[in-house]
Amino acid sequence: MTVAVVLMALFGSAWLLAVIEGWTTTGRLSLAAPVLSGLAHLGRESIVPRSPDRVFFEAAPVLLLVVAVLGAAVLPLAPDLIIADLGTGALFINAALAYVLVALIMAGWGPDGAYAMIGGWRFLGQLIAYSMLIVMPITAVAMRAESLVNTAIVGSQAGLWNIVYQPLGFVLFFIAAMALAFRAPFDLPIAAGELAGGVDAEYTGVRLAVLRLARLTLVVTLASATTVFFLGGWHGPLLPPWAWSLIKTLAVAMSMLLAGRYLPRIREADLMRWCWTLGIPLALVNIIIVGLLVLVVP
């Protein structure tokens, strides 16, 4: 039952995001548009390139979807609404999301196309930039909760959300999460207009439908992770806990989409430089500040 509810919330949020994304780009609000577009993909021919690495080509979209769902499986919507409340939940989500890279390398290498391959390897460079900014803010969050259990992390924010307790960590994690979800301005592996779609370029029909669904689901998973780690999870007045989780998750996901619409795409070298020369020192400062706060403030 819990599994069904969480999956419905996940894919329902992904659908809502697609509706809003369509609304902001075309100006027309259509609730059926994402579903119709998905059905249209199913009806189209799903072309296989001439000499693909067939295993990678077929596995990549499915793997991307699976890791997004696995990541969501350890994030609580409410105190008892979580698929698996692992003892190492905060670490597990890192492990699951590390396979986003593997999926994109497979999607890049699989079709035997130049643009796709550049897109896939670009994401490897992107990971070198953002990965520390995912791990280090989560470390500081776990330090405050003194636990890697995600429900305990939400519990530790009952009095004060982490966005107030460690705002620096929130900013870094939010930016890194956008880079992990390869949304604009960090959409280097896709890079429409420059790489002709990158890792998306060679996918058509049902495979493209799975890939797009996986991308949207990944955004929702990362927004949910931001909510759990920094926005107090299910905490909030009046409404039931699951409603607060959903509202916050959708708000974070929409702010990610919105930020992407108004920022130009970043260059890979600049992303790398800023992440390493500015981001990582700031993340270390955040860990030190949180360490001091944990020790000094009762």
Query: Which residues of this protein are in contact with other proteins, per CB under 8 A?
Result: 51, 53, 55-56, 86-88, 91-92, 94-95, 98-99, 101-102, 105-106, 109, 112, 121, 124, 127, 131, 147-149
The residue among 112 and 194 lying less far from other proteins, judged by its C-beta, is 112
Instruction: List the beta bridge partners of residue 81.
Output: 78
Least gap, CB of 28 to other proteins (angstroms): 40
Q: How far is the CB of 192 from other proteins (least distance, A)?
A: 24
The residue assigned the tokens 């700031």 is 282
Min CB(272)–other proteins separation in Å: 13
- Min separation Cβ 92 and other proteins, Å: 5
> Which lies closer to other proteins via its Cβ, residue 126 or residue 157?
126
Distance (Å, rounded) from C-alpha 164 to C-alpha 159? 11
Distance of closest approach, residue 122 Cβ to other proteins, in angstroms: 11
Tell me whether residue 58 or residue 112 sits nearer to other proteins (CB atom).
112
Nearer to other proteins, 31 or 55 (CB): 55
Report the 10 Å Cβ neighbour count for 164: 11
Phi-psi category of residue 196: left, alpha or beta, with phi > 0 → left and psi -120 to 50 → alpha: left
Of residues 265, 209, 191, 167, the one with CA closest to residue 42: 209
Two structure tokens written together for 89: 């939940």
CB 46 within 8 A of CB 105: no
Helix/strand/coil for 188: coil
Nearer to other proteins, 262 or 277 (CB): 277
